[in-house]
Structure 1
Amino acid sequence: MHTGDDVALRVERLTVLFADLVESSQMLADDEIAGVRRIARLFADVTGAATDVGSGRLLERRGDGLIFLFRHAIDAANAASAIHRTAASFDAVNGSAFVFRIGLHCANVLDHDGVRFGLGLSICSRIASLALPGQSLVSTECRDELAGFAHLTLVDKGRCYIKGASDPIRVFELARRQGGMAAGSLPKSQVQTSVTLAVFPLSHLSLAPANESQNGAAVGDVYADLALQAFSRCTGIELISRLSSAAAARAVRSGAQLTTVISADYVLSGTWQQPAGDEYRFAVELMSTVDGRVVWHDSARATAVELLAPESQYFLRIVSEATHRIAGRELETSRTAPLPTVPTHSLVLSSISLMHRLGRDDFDSVLSLIERVAERAPRHAVPHAWRARWHTFRVVQGWAHHDQRDHEQAKRESEMALALDDELSLVHAVAGSVAMSVKRDLPAALRHYERALSINPSDSLAWALKAAAHALDDDGAAALAAADRALTLSPHDPMRFLHESLAASACLTMHDFAGARNRAEASIRSNRAHYSSLRVAAIACELLGDHGAAARYIDELRREQPQYTVGAFLRASPKPAASDNRKLFADALLAAGLPA
């Protein structure tokens, strides 16, 4: 609650949905009264469909548009689908072509005496104005909230200008996925740079007497063990021990307050049932212990064989979606709370998320967050590793004012991270990146990647960067195998666009130009700001004979990097410019329109 000048304002973070009816005036031309009545019935049906899906309510009708507010972005996304379905159904019944264009945006909404207002409402309506009929577009803020939901597809539409804003904003098309439901000798710092997670054994939902359900506890315990194994592969998450979590779960079920029996940032808990045969039904939820809010939940079926598989797709999905929700919440915390009060682990996760959005403003803001982590944890390797990664990425994206200065900074930060803790896979993954991109030393890079993977065989960043090294070494088969491993380990990772791009480079090295184009375009759909993907797509299209598509990708690349040339492409490689592949790719870029 904010007060001042005798005005009390309540501020609430909500998802705004603006649904705009397309070309309604044409529907009124023949019979205005009948048309108004049809539209009124349509709006009543649409309102019912939108508010039935979850936490939403209708705020107001504004002209031919409806504004809804939702507590959760996923409810707004489901409501958008419900609106489009309802309009199509209404069209079939009444014979009128009703279509909506929809915008979604997460923002702070102000409340004064029950009246809601704020800049977020206007931004949302302007996002909707960019949509095509039947399309839903979402802002970057909303995209971050939705990234972990496997049944949704979010396609980067690039930067767009909206009325009243001097700078363009990133928008994403929202669609539902077809087929249904991706240290040396120095002492280490004691500052917490990772999120802590406790996994409770699942409770058994059964009508059987206690003495007839003895295997209930066993199944719940096994689930917790398997989940812990799966989460142990994640960087940035520390796990509370199995026995400590089980003891805390028993205490909570006996009435104890959660925060008095366990020190964890998040708790994964839930229930299981066995409806029939060997199939189990699991309902799990992820709760923040800070405020008791459930930040993610899931309900799914799986057999014992599926759970116990060495690479269980069930647990891979659970881990991917849960970690994405954690990252989204920590990012929100870092942006809305005063910086001195933000937990260090929130700053680390926020830095990672913002760095890999590759929006220039987001990227530039990362360094101040990492600096704050370094101030709090001067003897911890993690902030030094991410600072090295930031300086390296800055040069790769063409955003550095002085490449040499960033190169030197990246080397210093990487060396400091190695001195502080050479038993972290992240430290070696970043050291390999510096060796590859800054020092032009491929053998050293590969040694670091192998070391990272010996520490943590499931480090998706190390696998992805290893793929890049193999591609630069013209070893396409090894590059593709490493890139596919990274993709398998990160079905919903914020860096997935990078993994797709590296897989495309691997295909290019193997002269699988169609595969390279498909993979590069998948990366571009997720993040158009990753310029390497545009370059690979242009090369692949040119070598496939599609000069028009190649030229379009070069045009887009040059809009973002006007100084980029074929010569810069050749200088960036640790391989000799005269190597067969480098010459082939350089000639393709030249033919597609990139200046020499």
Structure 2
Amino acid sequence: MDRQEHKVERRLAAIFAADVAGYSRLMSQDEVGTLQALTAHREVMDRLITEHGGRIANTAGDSVLAEFPSVVDAVRCAAQVQDALASANQNMSEEEHLRFRIGVHVGDVMVRGGDLLGDGVNIAARLEGIADPGGICISEAAYGYVRKAVPLTFTDLGPQKVKNIEEPVRAYAVCSPTSAPMSQTSTADANLLRVPDKPFIAVLPFTNLSGDPEQEYFADGITEDLIAALSRCRWLFVIARNSVFTLKGRAVDIKEVGRQLGVRYVLEGSVRKAGNRVRITTQLVEALTGTDIWAGRFDRDLTDIFALQDEITESVVSAIEPSLQAAEIERARAKVTSNLEAYDLYLRALPEFYAFTEQGFRRAETLLRQAVERDPGYAEAWGALADCRGRLMVGGWTEDWDADAARSREAALQAVQCDPDNARVLAVAAWSLASLSGVLERAVTFCERALYLQPNSSYVLTNCGWVLIYTDECERALVCLEKARRLNPLDPRGYITLNAIGAVHFMGSRFKETEQFTRRALEMNPNHPISLRYLTAALAQMGRLAEAAEVGRVLQSTRWEAMRTHLNRTCYRNPKKRELLFDGLRKAGVRV
């Protein structure tokens, strides 16, 4: 053999890796149609790669590997490919849609006989696996080159542990110029996310200037109330609490925050509490340009704190949209309680609640019970109490399932009775009734009203997404859950949403996608029992019984008896979907 054939060349390159999500499933359903669609899509992709100066190096089946001399060109190409393929999918039925995942990295590669090899290629391929169907994921190295060079926004996914790569790889999801994520929803569904006429806003955690760390919860509470009040405006998309609080305590650049969260506006401020007085300063900034739109300073007695929140909210929404209807401002004025002591207890419970541990939930439960004792009409506290009790049950931290389910249900219904127009309360009541008590019809009623009242809350969307899974409306659930991810891109509890997306795919027998999303959920919370449950069943249904049994052993090492009760009490409107889950668990050797 010619020695020249063995020569290996090294060079720096931008690597573009792509494959079709769910390709095996599509082939099993319609081999001829899938091959025809793949050929048409590849013609589009290959043409765009060439136009952007790229070279296709390796292809196999549905996968494509290309190199570019410029990472900017590679990312521009990837974005145009996804837009073009989304347009092509419009002419096909939902079942025929092909959605490519694309990963882009810049690094050292080896070239042999025209093929690309090495860690740089492996990282690009792993990033492609992280990307959503129809989406793009790039490495931190690539992000450094393109973040100011292309008209796209990016969501920081954090360090990702990827197969066969020793060090975690920091990944960024690419969003469209209109701040919409390139996600796995259909083109029709994506219109629900691409909303250039509906501005996004992020309320950054207000800074505590009181000089007393014990007052930190008060500043956090002001921030949360403003997020909740602004999200009641149906025309305004508000980034959720969990995502913005990942920025707490950090010096941030407003333009970078705008790019990271994909928002047009950023509200920031500070709280200084002294004795019976409070001073709040706020500033509304247009993120793209860094231009100040509005600023305000408010000095009030603490007895006026709720009126103060109304005043700030009204000023913000009026600054963003001068023609906002008076009815929308009125909706932002709805207040949860006039009892300052109950409000203080509620605020103290929230940090414990978001810790998502048994001890945290029990401390939160104690504080919330004290809050509703002081104000029995406090709907938000009743709703948080129902959620708190439910999460203790889902975590397996319960001794009497029936009694605890009844407590969660009673707290949820009490919350709705106190405020039947509070979307968060309705959403948690819907989840509690469906997931813990099997009361599906009433849960659906609450879910529909919550989505009508507050369609732009990630909390509402995630809770209602789970209800829709139980009621066999999985495609609609997927729309809600993907929208929740967009509104809460940095959510530390995002594993709940990721797992729900995995559950949607499981119910559609898309087990490879279930594995993808539940593994991502488990990277965030390694012992999350519901994620372990769906991953075990998915692996078993794919015939990977040894892997399924291994995950099943981890599942059963948790508080499995309580989990078994949850599993057996969970009500699915379509009994075939329930049996699909049970069958997978049995194949893995899990006792159900």
- TM-score scaled to structure 2, two decimals? 0.46
- TM-score scaled to structure 1, two decimals? 0.46
